[in-house]
Amino acid sequence: MKTHVKALVVGGGAVGTSIAYHLARGGWDDVMLLERDELTSGSTWHAAGLLPLFNMSYATTHIHKYSVDFYKTLEEETGLNAGFSIVGNLRMAQTDARMDEYMLYASTAETAGVPYEWMTPAQIKDRWPLVRTEDLKGAIFHPTDGYINPADVTMAMAKGARQRGVMIERKWQVDGYHWTGSEWQVTVTKMVEKGGNLVPSDETTVITAEHVVTATGNHAQRTARLLGIKTPAIPVEHQFIVTEPDPALVEYRKQGGAEHPVLRDADAKWYVREERGGWILGPYERNAPARFAYGVPDSFRADLFPLDLERIEEEYMSMIHRIPSSEEVGLKDDYNGPICYTPDGNPLVGPAPGLRNMWLAEGFSFGITAAGGTGYYLAQLMIEGEAEIDMASLDPKRYGSWMTTDYAVAKNEEAYEHVYILHHPDEEREAARPLRTSPAYDRQKAAGAQFGQVNGWERPNYYAPEGFDDHAARSFRRGGWWSHVVEEAKAIREGVGLIDATAFTKHLVKGPGATAFLDWFTCNKLPKVGRINLTYALTTAGTTRTEYTIVRLAEDEYYLVSAGAWTAYDSDFLQKAIEDKIPEFGWISCHDVTTQWGVFAIAGPKSRDVLNEIVRDAEPETVLSNKRFPWLTMREIELGMCPVRAIRVAYTGELGWELHHPIEMQNYLWDQLVAAGEKHGMKLVGARAQNWLRQEKSYRAFGTELGRDATPAEADLPRFIDLAKEFHGKAAMEATGIRAKCVTLLIDGPEDADPWGREALYDGDTKVGRLTSGGYSVAFGKSIGMGYVSPDLAVPGTKLKVKMFDQLWDCEITEDSPYDPKNEVIRKDG
């Protein structure tokens, strides 16, 4: 066996095999794959093989689409038939809300080029008469997907990989990883059969590899332990049952009836497909337990758990309701296997936290569907430094070091159970909450806060009167919360509001090398001492990796504020870049101070009046004036007894300050502000109103307008890019040019709905872009959105259409910052 390779892939399931294949196809000719047992002996062997294109996430939709297209080509390349049955996929809706969900999903499908059709109950009945349809509202049909044989597709990828030079070694288990500073030394043990068990032999060796990818499926916890990292990838039990042949189905097929598509009755929480004249039923039931939270026992090989029929009785009954002929047939087979999950149901794909050249591909719950695309995009990331799509939503570092086993278990069980729930865009999941709370949490809760969760933090989404039910308020249209958010947004435009922004990510970067480093690391000019700049760190491809508000505290000391959802993701990138650059720029220290600083944002024309009530200064009447405290500056001030690092910026685009304060004094400061605000009618405001307001100012948000699929130039932020200096990613950004451009649109949409930021944009019949954010504008009294369109259309006044609820609605591109374009209200003196 070769002992030095460029890339070592650990795990021979569908995912690892696809990664090895794509690394070779991408041009790496020295790739090895190690499997501790046989290829497909993990979860891959017992998967049902469904390949659903349906997915609410833009990145995952691209991944699934790639897989489906790729699998269709494999036979030609390898001569192996992967058993792809393109029978289509029919998602039925029992309720209007479910149809709304499908219509929102259809927008995502359109933006990714995934074909779909609508079907009425009568059309379904006409084509597949065994299906009961009288209680259906309709369905969405994907004609191009279906199901595949998971083992066959893996073997075809393995053959393709071998043909491209990949070495595949079975019965070798990875038992240790050691980073030498330039490569990985991977200790591997030969596994042998002993009495039906697979056990380690005495034969070990060390393989050195420049890059390692782990795709170890249910063994992710062991892998994490070997690497000294944390991952929330923990399996949950998933079962499917296979019935005896159904005479009605057999007869229908004999009469020339078309094979049923994969049927999904989401409201009943199951999928069903044909299998040799019978049916396979796969439920996503309640109470499926997590397994192997601390690792897979040695005795568990390609094994299954016992069937728990009671747990899936409800779903079984509902299958009989939907396909009445299935009542007569008995069970032939059952499968209850571990299916790996993560708290949000998305896999963990990308660089491992804190480690170099170590890539994770773990936590796949739709691993057969995702394998092809994961291999393709991860290979791009590894070989070229970036992928065509923004992989951030799959990045392993979206969970920070606060994450624990109990958390992962609770959330993974929830994610499993939620596979078929209505995926309201305003959904907030309940498990493992509250967990990370800022000190003012109880006060906010008492004031009616309806919390959302960001990176584990509880953050008020909005405030509502006592007894309000956020659950019942969720909708694909304007939910029950909408009118409360309108009032909050108005309060900031017309009076004053207080927002908790404690979840912001904060880093302190200082030392003799700090200035030169940050000048290279970010694209805008660095601020002078006491001033603030908005700036971007770029990827090697010139796209946006992180947005920072940089405050220069001293000549060589900087306070960096970035998005709250991305603390570990930002920290890892920053720390690694600093380590790389210390030899060039000199010593730099970097600390994640996120949990040391609370943040309140006070904004609105009366915000200065509220602060004036409690600010302490030799000349309190002028301390907050434009002269002493101009826009885009920072001052250390005292609010009562609380020392505050006040920053004159406002993400809402109104006169305002961010009040960064010692976390242990948060409740004191909250009480001071609330008491002072009473006289001025101050309202408590949540993140949803803030999100609407920032769109009126065309402020791009990280994770929507800003990400690794667009450069800051494409985000149309020239005023924050200093082309006179050299910075990381500059040449790539310039070479990329402008593929699409970020715009703000005012939308004449349906009376009862606003866009969510996933909708397709049209010019006549031609798709010309997509929304990335959406909401309601209180300043303009209509829906608002931000998104990307072809550069030639990115001109104020251009009239386009936006697809919402399967209809095209008028919208118009506005100038940047349609509200207060000259920033007069932000700069207001007083």
What 3-state class would DSSP assign to 738?
Answer: coil
* Contacts (Cβ under 8 Å, ≥6 apart) of 262: 50, 52, 87, 88, 89, 90, 145, 146, 147, 271, 272, 273
For the CB of residue 339, give the shortest distance to ligand FAD in the complex, in Å.
4
Structure tokens at 189: 């043990």
For the CB of residue 173, give the shortest distance to ligand FAD in the complex, in Å.
4
For the CB of residue 221, give the shortest distance to ligand FAD in the complex, in Å.
10
Give the residue with the Cβ less far from ligand FAD, 48 or 746.
48
Give the residue with the Cβ less far from ligand FAD, 48 or 541.
48
Give the residue with the Cβ less far from ligand FAD, 218 or 814.
218
Torsional class of 709: left (φ above 0), alpha (ψ -120 to 50), beta (otherwise): alpha
Residues lying near ligand FAD in the complex (CB under 6 A): 10-16, 34-37, 41-44, 46-50, 173-174, 215-219, 238, 240, 335, 337-339, 364-369
Choose among 53, 75, 66, 219: nearest CA to 155.
75
Core vs surface per residue 221-235: b (16+ CB within 10 A) or e = bbbbebbebbbbbbb
For the CB of residue 258, give the shortest distance to ligand FAD in the complex, in Å.
21
For the CB of residue 387, give the shortest distance to ligand FAD in the complex, in Å.
18
For the CB of residue 304, give the shortest distance to ligand FAD in the complex, in Å.
8
Give the residue with the Cβ less far from ligand FAD, 47 or 611.
47
Structure tokens at 581: 């650059």
Give every strand in the sheet of 656-662, ordered side by side.
Answer: 615-616, 634-639, 642-647, 656-662, 597-603, 497-500, 683-685
Give the residue with the Cβ less far from ligand FAD, 414 or 705.
414
For the CB of residue 415, give the shortest distance to ligand FAD in the complex, in Å.
13
Give the residue with the Cβ less far from ligand FAD, 9 or 614.
9
For the CB of residue 429, give the shortest distance to ligand FAD in the complex, in Å.
21
Cβ burial, residue 763 (10 Å; 0-12/13-18/19+): middle
Give the residue with the Cβ less far from ligand FAD, 56 or 675.
56
For the CB of residue 793, give the shortest distance to ligand FAD in the complex, in Å.
37
Residue 509 C-beta-side C-alpha neighbours within 13 Å:
28
Rounded to 5°, the CA angle 371-350-583 comes to: 155
For the CB of residue 129, give the shortest distance to ligand FAD in the complex, in Å.
26
Nearest-angstrom CA–CA distance, 258 and 132? 17
For the CB of residue 283, give the shortest distance to ligand FAD in the complex, in Å.
10
Q: Provide the residue type at 805 as one letter.
A: F
Give the residue with the Cβ less far from ligand FAD, 47 or 685.
47
Return phi, psi of residue 795, to 5°. -130, 130
DSSP conformation class of 568: H
DSSP conformation class of 133: -
DSSP conformation class of 126: H
Cβ burial, residue 504 (10 Å; 0-12/13-18/19+): buried
Structure tokens at 54: 């349906």
Give the residue with the Cβ less far from ligand FAD, 293 or 582.
293
* Contacts (Cβ under 8 Å, ≥6 apart) of 785: 695, 744, 745, 747, 755, 757, 759, 771, 773, 774, 775, 802, 811
Q: Provide the residue type at 761 as one letter.
A: L
Nearest-angstrom CA–CA distance, 42 and 45? 6
Length of the chain measured in residues? 830
Core vs surface per residue 374-388: b (16+ CB within 10 A) or e = bbbbbbbbbbeebbe
Structure tokens at 47: 């998967």
H helix or E strand, kind and range, residue 259:
none
Give the residue with the Cβ less far from ligand FAD, 68 or 743.
68
For the CB of residue 224, give the shortest distance to ligand FAD in the complex, in Å.
11
Choose among 512, 533, 511, 506: nearest CA to 522.
533
Give the residue with the Cβ less far from ligand FAD, 50 or 358.
50
For the CB of residue 215, give the shortest distance to ligand FAD in the complex, in Å.
5
For the CB of residue 127, give the shortest distance to ligand FAD in the complex, in Å.
23
Give the residue with the Cβ less far from ligand FAD, 157 or 268.
157
Nearest-angstrom CA–CA distance, 534 and 17? 42
